[in-house]
Structure 1
Amino acid sequence: MNKRTKLLSRTLSYASGTFAKLCLLCAFFLSALSIQAQENQRISIDFKGETLESTIWYIQNRTNYVFVYTQKDVAGVKDITLRGKNKTVSEILDECLEGTNLTYEIIDKKIVIKKKQSQQVTISGWVHDAEGEALPGATVTARGSKDGAIAGMDGRYTLTIPAQKGLILTYSFIGMEKKTVRYAGKNNINVTLKSGVGTEMEEVVVTGYQNIKRRDLVGSITTVKAKDVIMPSFTTIDQMLQGRVAGMVVTNTSSRVGTAPKIQIRGTSTLLGNQDPLWVIDGIIQEDPLTLETSNSMTGDLKDIIGNQISWLNPSDIENITILKDASATAIYGSKASNGVIEITTKKNTTDRLSVNYTANFVIGSRPNYEQFNYMNSKERVQFSQEAFNWGTSFAKEPIKQPYTYEGLLRMYLEHDISAEEFIAQRGQLETQNTDWFKLLTRRSFSHNHNLSISGGTNKFSYSTSVGYSKSDGQEIGNSSERMTGRIALTMRPVQKLTINAALNGSVSTNKGFAGGVAPMDYATTTNRIINPDVFYQKTATYDYNDNVQSLGYNFINERNNSSASSSSTHLSASLDLK
C-alpha cells in the first residue's frame, strides 16, 4: 500500500512539473508571436512637409505603439516628405530620422525616441553666388537640429555639431535657391547658391487685377483679415466692417434685418453721382445693384432691402479684405474707383489633408415693452387731453368725429351727437383700453447662421466647397431675411508652370420689409393706447388728386398685413483663371 502511494505521488509530481514547463513554453511562444506581430504592423502614409511630431501622432493613432520622447528633441525635425503603402513602423521611422541626430528603440509596445550618443564634428567653408561673390549672412543648418551657423562678411562659416550618420546640411540666403548637401566625412564644404525666381521676401498687395509688391504700389491701403472682423450678429461683410478701418464710415440705413449699410471712404467725392465704393471679389468687379428713385414713397423701404454688390457673399468664404482709399486706385480701375475700392480675396484650397468644418451661430434679441419707456397709459392720456381742453388749448386740426379717439368723442358730445351718458360710458371704455402695441407689432429678434465647408486634395488637384444658410427674423413682425449660398472652387496643376483655378458661386436670398409709410416700431411708440387694434378709425386723407375725400378708415395691422415690400434675388457667377 505504501509503495503504491509513493508511486502515485511521484507520477503526479512529474506530471505537474511537465505541465508547468509546457505552460511557460506556450506563454513564451505567444509573447514572441505578439512581439513579431507588433513589429510587422504595416500602415500606409502620404506626407509632404510635415513635422516629426505630427508623423509620430499619425503612427500612434494607427498602431498599438505608444511613443516616448521629449518635445525639445523632435521640434527641429521638419519638412518630412514620405509616401508609401504597407510600410512597417521601423521602415517609416528609419526614413523620418535619416540625417538627424535622433534614433529609436522599440521596447514591447513602447517606442523611445532619443538623441544619438556621438562625438562633435566641425565643418567649415564658404558660401558664394554664381558670380563668385561672398554671401554674408547666409545660413547653414543641420536637418533635425537647432544647431546652425551664419556666414561672415567674407562668406565663410564654421559649424560644430554632433557627428551622425547621414547628416544633411541646408544652405540658404534671401533671393537664392536653397541647397542641401549630404555630409560624407569631409570637413571643408564650399557651396555656390543660384539666384531663384520668386524667392524674394516682399510684401504683396492684391489689387484685384494683379498682385503688386508693396514697394511698387503708391497709395493709402488697409488690409484686414476676415477672422478679425467676423461678428455672429451680422450676416454680411459690409456690416462687419463698421469701425474696423480708419477713414471708412459705415452707416446703417435702417435697424431692420436684410438692409444694406451706406459706406463712404474718406468722405463724399460727389454730390449727385454714385457715392458707393467699388467692390472687387477675386479680381472681378461687382456690378451695382438696381437703382430706385428714393424720393418715391412707394420705394422708400424697398431701396434699403434690395441689397448691394456683395449681399450674396458668405462671410465665411472670405480670407482677407483690402481697402484702397485714395485716388491712386483710379490708375487701376478707372473712374469707378473714385469713391475707393474694397477688394475681397476668398479662401484658398488646402492640399495637405481633408478638412471638414461646420459652424453655427444663434442670436436672440429682446422685445421692447412699455416698461422701457415713460409713456402714458389710456387713463393718463384721456386725463391729459381733458386738461388741455379745459385750459383752452386749441387743436392743430379739427378732430374727426368718431368714438375711437377721445378728441373725436369729445367733439361728438360738444356738438350734441351723443348724450352725456353715452359720452361718460364711452370715455370709461377708452380709459381702460390700454392696447399693448409692442406686443402686437414686435417680437424677440432671432437669427441663426450655419456654414459647412469641405476642402482637400493634393498638389496636382485640390478642391473646396462650402454651403451657407442664414435666417433672421427682425424685431418688427413682418421683417425677415433669408439667404442660402454655395461655392465650389477647384485648383489644377497639370504641369509645373501652369495653374488652373475655377470657381462657381451661387446665392438665393429673400428680404421682406414694409410698404412706404408702414413702420411698426414707429407706430408703437407714437400711437396712444386708447385705440382699439380691431377697429378702423378715421384718419385724415392725404390723397393729392382727390380733395373731396376728407378722411379714410385706417387700421394699422390690416395695413401691415396687406401691403409690404419684398426683394428676391438669385446670383450665379463663374470664374476661370490660368496662370
Structure 2
Amino acid sequence: MKHTLYAIPLLLLSPCWVFSSNDAHLPSKKNFDNPNLFWTASVDAQDSLITVNGSVKDERSNAIAGTIVSVKGESVNTVSDDQGLFTLEMKPDASLIFNKTDFARHEEPVNNRSEIHVILKIAEADSSAATDSAPGTGDTTVTDSTVIDTTAASPTSPVSPTTAMTSTDSTANPQNVVQGTVSDKNGPITGVTVSVKGQPASAATDEQGRFSISANTGDILVFSAVGYKEYEESLNNREKIDVLLSEESKTIESVQVVAVGYGTMERATLASSVSSIGADEIENEVLPSIPQAIQGKAGGVQVTQKSGSPGGGLSIRVRGTTSINASSDPLYVVDGIPVNSTTNFTGGSDFNFGGGTQGINVLSSLNPSDVQSVEVLKDAASSSIYGARAANGVVLITTKKGEPGTSQFHFNMYEGYSEMPSERKYEMMNTAQYQDYMRDYYFFREQDDPTSTMPDQILANPHINTDWQDAMFRKAGTRSYELSASGGSEKTQYYTSLGYMRQGGIMLNSDFNRISGRINLNHQHNDKLRFATAINVTRAENDRIQEENSKEGPTKTGIFSPPNIPVYDNNGDYVYDQVSLSRENPIAMLNLPVNNAQTWRVLANASAEYQFVPSLTLKTSFGTDISFIDETFFMPPNGIRSFASQGGIGARRNTRDQLWINETTLTFDKLFGDHQLNALGGFSVQESRLEFVHGQRSNFPSNDIEHINAGGVITRADAYPEEWAIASAFTRVNYNYKKKYILTANLRTDGSSRFGSDNRWATFPSLAAAWRLSEEDFIQNLPVISDLKLRASWGITGNQNIGNYASYSLYAGGNNYLGMPGFIPSVLGDRNLKWETTAQTDVGIDVGLFDDRIFLLADYYHKKTSDLLIGVPILTNSGYMNRFTNSGDIENKGFEFELTTRNLVGDFKWTTSLNMTFNRNRVLALPDGVDQILGGVGSLNIAMAGLPLGSFYGWKMIGVNPETGMIDYVGQDGQPTTPTSDEDRQIIGNPHPDFFGGITNTFQYKNFDFSVMGQFSYGNEMFNYTLASGLEGYNASSNAFIDWVDRWRQPGDITDMPRPSPGSFDNGAISDRFVQDGSFFRIRNITLGYTLPQAVTERMKVNRLRAYITVQNAYVFTKYRGFDPEVSSSHGGANTGLIYGYDYGSYPQPRIFTAGVNLSF
C-alpha cells in the first residue's frame, strides 16, 4: 500500500525555493551580461595562443581568491576564484602579473607552460607592491572587489573600498551612525544588504545606493546582494564609507571541470549527462567506502546497501537494471584503470564463504579521503568512450594530486560505536504467549496424527524469557585514522596518505579492518615531457557470518529460537533446541565458526605525456589491479550439530586476480578564433587472469585446532585459472563555437575474448549536441537567467559481464565411471555469441537562475537493451543441458533531476541539494519459445514480456476462512483454492520504486556547520521472507511474531491470522500476504561541526582545526516490518537482474555515532 508518510520529512527539509527576507532587497537594475568583469578585450592572433591554468596561494599554501591575473603589456586579465584557480589565454612567451591587496606584486614568465602555480608573499607595510603600472593604463589599484583606474577617476567617481574611503575620526562615542554609498561599475546599487558582522543589525541601500546603520567604531560591515561578491570592511573609527562591489562570476559553469573518461571537460561545454560528487562532499561525511559517497546524491543512480555487515557490498544501478543473466553493475574506473568488479568467488566450495550477499566490496579497498571527485557517466554520449563495458554506466574515481607550495599535512580521525536500532527489531511472542500458541499447534497436530505428543521442552522453563535478538546484537566500536601530505615544487608534486579503519559489526564476531597507503606523483621533466604515477596498496580483513545462506543461519535462527530456552546452561555451555534438531544455538553459530577473508590489493598506474606543440599531446599509460584473497573457513566438530557427524569442516581458498592495461592516446586541443576543437584518438589493450585454489577437509580432532592440515579426511580439492582479454580503439571529437554551440562524437571498437569467434568485434558510436542559450543576446538581457543549456544525445553501448567461457562448449566434471573420473557435456557453445547492446537517447537541460542561486540539471532518457545474454535449456537428446544465446529486450525509461539552491547567503548560509529519479523498467521480449523465466527462492521472481523485470510471482490471498482457520487463495476461475497449482499463480508485486532520490541540507553560521542528508525510495515492494517464516505456523518449536496472539481459534472467528498448520505449508505459501510496501525515508547522516577561528589556529601553528559529531542511519520512516527496507538479498550471492527485492534474513544496517577531528597544518 502506498502512503504519504515520506512527504513529511521532505516538506520539513526542502523549502528549496524559499529565500531569506534579507535577500528580498534585489537590485532594481542588474547586469548579468558579462560572466567575467576582468576580460576587457579580445585577443588577436588566436592561432598562436595557449591556454594556461593555474593557482594562487599564500606562503602557507592557502588559496587566495580575488587575485588579479593579467598578461603583461596587454589588456587581458582575469581573477582567481574561491579556490585560487584561474584560466587565461595568451602567447607562449608572455608574462603574467599577479596583484592582490596586502601581497607583493609578482611577475611570472609563461615559457610555454600550460600550468602555472604561484605563491604570493605578504607585502611590506610601506610597500606599493600592490600596484601595477601597465603601459597606457596609469596606476592601477588592486582590491578584493574589482580593478579601478585611479588616473581616470574623477573626485566624484566610485572608489575602492580599501584606498578611497572618507574617514572621520570619532572617539567621543563608540556607537555611531555610519553612512555611505554602494555602487558597481554602472553606478549606485539598490537593495544591497548592509549588516554588522556577528550582530542582528542590518540595513538596505536606497535607489541612490545610500545606506545608514548604527555600529560600534571597531565593527565590521558586511555588504551582500544577489549577483555580487560579498564584501567585508572594518570601520576603524570611520563614519562614512563608500564601497564599490564587483559582480559575481558564473562559477558553476565557468570553473567546474568534470572527468569524462580519457580527459576532463568544463561543465559549460558538456553536452552529455554526468553527475559529479566533489571532495568537499566526501570529506565532510564518515564514509567506510566510495559507493556510500554516491548514495542519494546523483540523479539516476540507485545505490542499495545490500547488507549492513562491515565491509559488505553495495549494489549500484545507473538508470535501471538492463540484463537478466549478465551483471548490471557499472564499470568502475580508478585513475584511468578499469578495475575488476567481481564481488564473489564461489567456485568449488560446499558452503558459502561470503555468507550470502556480503561478498567482497570491490571499492572497500579505497580510502574515501583520498578521492578528489566521483563522476557517474550516465548517458551513451558520455559512457560510450568505454564501449563494450558501458551499458550500465561508468563510475570514474579520481584521486587527489599534490600542488606546488609548502607541504600540507591533513590528519583526520574519528571514534564511535554502532548499535542495532531498537525500533527495527522484530516484535516476537514472549514465553507465555509462545507456550499458549504451541498448545494450539500440538492440538491441531494431534488431530492429524493421534500418535504425536507435545515434547516436554515446549512447556518447560515458563519463567525464562530469552530475547535472542538482544543476545545476537551488540554495541561495536568503530574508528578511523588518516594522515596525508601533499605539496611539491613547480616541477614535482606529490600526494601521499596512510589510513587505518576498523568497523565493528553489530552482530557478534563480524568486523572489518582496512589499512591503506597511497602515493601519487607528478613530475614536469621539461617543457615537453611530463610523468605521473599513482599507487594504492590496501590490506583488508573481514570477519564474516553466514548470513543469507539458509533459513538456519544465525540471523533467522536467532529470531525464531524458542524464548524458553536460555543461551547458556549453568555450566556455561550452549543450550540447543531439542525439538528442531537442525536449529543451532544462534550465539554458538556466531561465536564458534571461523569465516575470515584477508585481501591484499594493489592499484597502480604510470603515465608519460609528451607535448609536441601546445595543442598536440601524446600520452601512454600502464596500469594494474592485483588482488590476493585468502579465505579461511572452519566449522568446529563440537558445538555445531549440523557438522558434528563429519567431525567439523575446514577449508582454505586462495584467489589471485590480476589485471593489466596499456593505453595510448593522442589529444589535439586548439582554439581557432571563436572555434574550439578537441580531438582524441587512442587504443587500449587489457588482460585479466584469475587463479583459484581451494582445499577442504573434515574430521578435525578439536575446536582449538583450526588449520586445514589437522583435518583427517580430504573432502575436496580444486584449482583452475580463468582468463579474458579485450582490445579497443577509440576516438572522440568535441567542437564548440564561442562555447555556445557544442557538438560531441564518440566511436569505439572493442574485441573481447568472451564472445564467439564469429562475433568478437563490435563498434559503439554516440553523438551529442548542446546549445547554451545563456550566451545568446536575447537571454543575456534577462537578469533572472544566469545559465541555460539544452542537451541531446544518442548512442550505443555494450555489456560483456558474463562468464569468460560462455561462448564455448563446456564439460562438467565429478561424474565418475567405473571408479574413474568422468566428464559430461554441460553447455553448448555458440560461435555467434555477442554483446548485449543498449541504445540510449537522452534529452536534458541545465538551468541557472539568480546568478546560479538556483541550479537545475534535468534529463529524460530512454534505454533499450537488445540481444540479452540468456541461458536457455535445450533438448536433452543433444547431450547438453543448456546454452547461452542472444535474445530478448529490456527497456528503461524515465526522468531525473538534480536541484541545488543557495537559500540563504551571508553569515548564515543554507544550501539544499535535491535529486529524484523516476524510472520505469519493462521486459519487452524473451527468446522464441520462452514465455517466462523464473528465479529466486520458490521461483518468486519472474521475467515476462510486458512486466517489470523481477516482478513477484505467486498466489493472491483472499483471507482466513472463518470455518477452517486456513488461508484461501484466488484460483484461476476466481474461486477460493489452495496454493497447490502453478496455474493459479499471478503477479503479486513490483520490486522497482516509482521514484527514489536524496536530499541534503547544509547550514553554516560563522564557524559552525550542520548538515542533514536524507535518502528515500517510494513505491517499491519487498517480499519479506523473514515475515513468511514467522507467520507460516508450520515449525514444531519456532517462536513467531506477536501477530499470532490474534490468531483464529474456533469456527466463526473473523481475523487475518490463521490457525497453526502443522504438516501443511499452505499458510506460508509465496503470496501477497508477505509482500510489503518497501518505501522509506532514511535520515542517513547528521553532522554538526565547529571550526576554530583562524586567530586561534594561527597561535596553535595550524591552518585549520575542525571538530564534529555525526550520526549515521539516524532514523528510517517506513511501514516495512523487516530489519531494514533497504536490502537486496540475492540468495546465495547470485548476481542477476532477475532476483531482486526480497529480504531473506539480511544483516541489519547499524546506527553509528562518531566524533572526530579534521586537522590541517
Name the residue aligned to 1:268.
Answer: 321
Contact 2:472 2:586 in 1 (8 A): no
Name the residue aligned to 2:379.
Answer: 326
Residues 463 and 297 from structure 1, CA distance in 2 versus in 1: closer, same or farther, beyond 3 angstroms?
same
Contact 1:277 1:341 in 2 (8 A): yes
Name the residue aligned to 1:454.
Answer: 485
Of the candidates 381, 394, 417, which is equivalent to residue 445 of structure 2? 394
Residues 393 and 53 from structure 1, CA distance in 2 versus in 1: closer, same or farther, beyond 3 angstroms?
closer
> Taking structure 2 as the reference length, what is the TM-score of the superposition?
0.31
Of the candidates 565, 569, 575, which is equivalent to residue 535 of structure 1? 575
* 1:253 and 2:306 correspond: yes
Name the residue aligned to 1:408.
Answer: 455
Shift of 1:259: 0.6
Contact 2:557 2:584 in 1 (8 A): no
SS at match of 1:305: coil
Q: Whole-Å Cα distance in 2 between the matches of residues 497 and 96 of structure 1?
A: 42
Contact 2:402 2:520 in 1 (8 A): yes
* 1:283 and 2:336 correspond: yes
What letter corresponds to residue 316 of structure 1 in structure 2? S
Name the residue aligned to 1:337.
Answer: 390
Shift of 1:82: 9.8
Q: Whole-Å Cα distance in 2 between the matches of residues 268 and 79 of structure 1?
A: 58
SS at match of 1:393: helix
Q: Whole-Å Cα distance in 2 between the matches of residues 352 and 147 of structure 1?
A: 27
Name the residue aligned to 2:415.
Answer: 362
Structure 1 segment 369-380 matched on structure 2, within 5 A: 374-380=427-433
Q: Whole-Å Cα distance in 2 between the matches of residues 488 and 434 of structure 1?
A: 56
Shift of 1:316: 0.1
Residues 437 and 452 from structure 1, CA distance in 2 versus in 1: closer, same or farther, beyond 3 angstroms?
same
Name the residue aligned to 1:314.
Answer: 367
RMSD (Å), alpha carbons? 4.3
Contact 1:538 1:552 in 2 (8 A): no
> Taking structure 1 as the reference length, what is the TM-score of the superposition?
0.59
Residues 221 and 554 from structure 1, CA distance in 2 versus in 1: closer, same or farther, beyond 3 angstroms?
closer
Structure 1 segment 432-511 matched on structure 2, within 5 A: 432-511=463-542
Name the residue aligned to 2:595.
Answer: 565
Q: Whole-Å Cα distance in 1 between the matches of residues 529 and 102 of structure 2?
A: 32
Contact 1:468 1:484 in 2 (8 A): yes
Structure 1 segment 172-187 matched on structure 2, within 5 A: none
Name the residue aligned to 1:208.
Answer: 261
Shift of 1:513: 1.4
Shift of 1:322: 0.9
Q: Whole-Å Cα distance in 2 between the matches of residues 357 and 387 of structure 1?
A: 65
Shift of 1:539: 5.6
Contact 1:232 1:363 in 2 (8 A): no
SS at match of 1:514: coil
Name the residue aligned to 2:557.
Answer: 523
Residues 96 and 498 from structure 1, CA distance in 2 versus in 1: closer, same or farther, beyond 3 angstroms?
farther
**CA offsets per residue over residues 225-284 of structure 1, 9 Å max, x none?**
132145655300102321111110011111212111100000012111111001111111
Q: Whole-Å Cα distance in 1 between the matches of residues 564 and 304 of structure 2?
A: 36
What letter corresponds to residue 261 of structure 2 in structure 1? G
Higher strand share: 2
Name the residue aligned to 1:548.
Answer: none
* 1:97 and 2:127 correspond: yes
Residues 50 and 561 from structure 1, CA distance in 2 versus in 1: closer, same or farther, beyond 3 angstroms?
closer
Q: Whole-Å Cα distance in 2 between the matches of residues 53 and 356 of structure 1?
A: 11
**CA offsets per residue over residues 264-308 of structure 1, 9 Å max, x none?**
000012111111001111111112225446999832844533324
Q: Whole-Å Cα distance in 1 between the matches of residues 256 and 517 of structure 2?
A: 32
Contact 1:208 1:284 in 2 (8 A): no
Q: Whole-Å Cα distance in 1 between the matches of residues 450 and 261 of structure 2?
A: 62
SS at match of 2:101: coil
Residues 294 and 218 from structure 1, CA distance in 2 versus in 1: closer, same or farther, beyond 3 angstroms?
farther
Higher helix share: 1
What letter corresponds to residue 431 of structure 2 in structure 1? S
Contact 1:294 1:300 in 2 (8 A): no
Contact 1:359 1:451 in 2 (8 A): yes
Shift of 1:327: 1.9
**CA offsets per residue over residues 414-447 of structure 1, 9 Å max, x none?**
xxxxxxxxxxxx94x5202222323432201321
Residues 467 and 511 from structure 1, CA distance in 2 versus in 1: closer, same or farther, beyond 3 angstroms?
same
**CA offsets per residue over residues 346-374 of structure 1, 9 Å max, x none?**
11103221211111122323356699664
Shift of 1:477: 0.2
Q: Whole-Å Cα distance in 1 between the matches of residues 258 and 424 of structure 2?
A: 53
Q: Whole-Å Cα distance in 2 between the matches of residues 238 and 333 of structure 1?
A: 20
Residues 202 and 448 from structure 1, CA distance in 2 versus in 1: closer, same or farther, beyond 3 angstroms?
closer
What letter corresponds to residue 569 of structure 1 in structure 2? T
Q: Whole-Å Cα distance in 1 between the matches of residues 522 and 398 of structure 2?
A: 15
Shift of 1:378: 2.1
Contact 1:286 1:310 in 2 (8 A): no
Residues 275 and 381 from structure 1, CA distance in 2 versus in 1: closer, same or farther, beyond 3 angstroms?
same
Shift of 1:569: 1.1
Matched residues, percent identical? 24
Residues 356 and 399 from structure 1, CA distance in 2 versus in 1: closer, same or farther, beyond 3 angstroms?
farther
Shift of 1:52: 10
**CA offsets per residue over residues 319-358 of structure 1, 9 Å max, x none?**
1111110122443111101100111111110322121111
- Any runs of at least 4 consecutive aligned residues in structure 1 with deviations exceeding 6 A, and if so which? 52-55, 294-297, 368-372, 395-401
Q: Whole-Å Cα distance in 2 between the matches of residues 532 and 400 of structure 1?
A: 29
Q: Whole-Å Cα distance in 2 between the matches of residues 480 and 379 of structure 1?
A: 36
Q: Whole-Å Cα distance in 1 between the matches of residues 307 and 454 of structure 2?
A: 34
Contact 1:122 1:158 in 2 (8 A): no
SS at match of 1:234: coil
Residues 328 and 296 from structure 1, CA distance in 2 versus in 1: closer, same or farther, beyond 3 angstroms?
farther
What letter corresponds to residue 456 of structure 2 in structure 1? L
Shift of 1:496: 2.8
**Bigger radius of gyration:** 1
Q: Whole-Å Cα distance in 1 between the matches of residues 302 and 403 of structure 2?
A: 35
Of the candidates 67, 76, 98, which is equivalent to residue 101 of structure 2? 76
**CA offsets per residue over residues 53-91 of structure 1, 9 Å max, x none?**
999xxxxxxxxxxxxxxxxxx9624465599xxxxxxx9
SS at match of 2:607: strand
SS at match of 1:569: strand
Counting matched residue pairs gives 400
What letter corresponds to residue 394 of structure 1 in structure 2? R
Residues 408 and 306 from structure 1, CA distance in 2 versus in 1: closer, same or farther, beyond 3 angstroms?
same
Name the residue aligned to 2:200.
Answer: none
Q: Whole-Å Cα distance in 1 between the matches of residues 450 and 146 of structure 2?
A: 93
SS at match of 1:228: helix
Residues 98 and 215 from structure 1, CA distance in 2 versus in 1: closer, same or farther, beyond 3 angstroms?
closer
Name the residue aligned to 1:298.
Answer: 351
SS at match of 1:477: coil
Contact 2:476 2:506 in 1 (8 A): yes
Shift of 1:407: 4.0
Q: Whole-Å Cα distance in 2 between the matches of residues 400 and 472 of structure 1?
A: 53
Shift of 1:491: 1.9
SS at match of 1:271: coil
Q: Whole-Å Cα distance in 2 between the matches of residues 396 and 480 of structure 1?
A: 49
Shift of 1:201: 6.3
What letter corresponds to residue 261 of structure 1 in structure 2? L
**CA offsets per residue over residues 111-159 of structure 1, 9 Å max, x none?**
xxxxxxxxxx99957xxxxxxxxxxxxxx98254567469xxxxxx984
What letter corresponds to residue 455 of structure 2 in structure 1? G
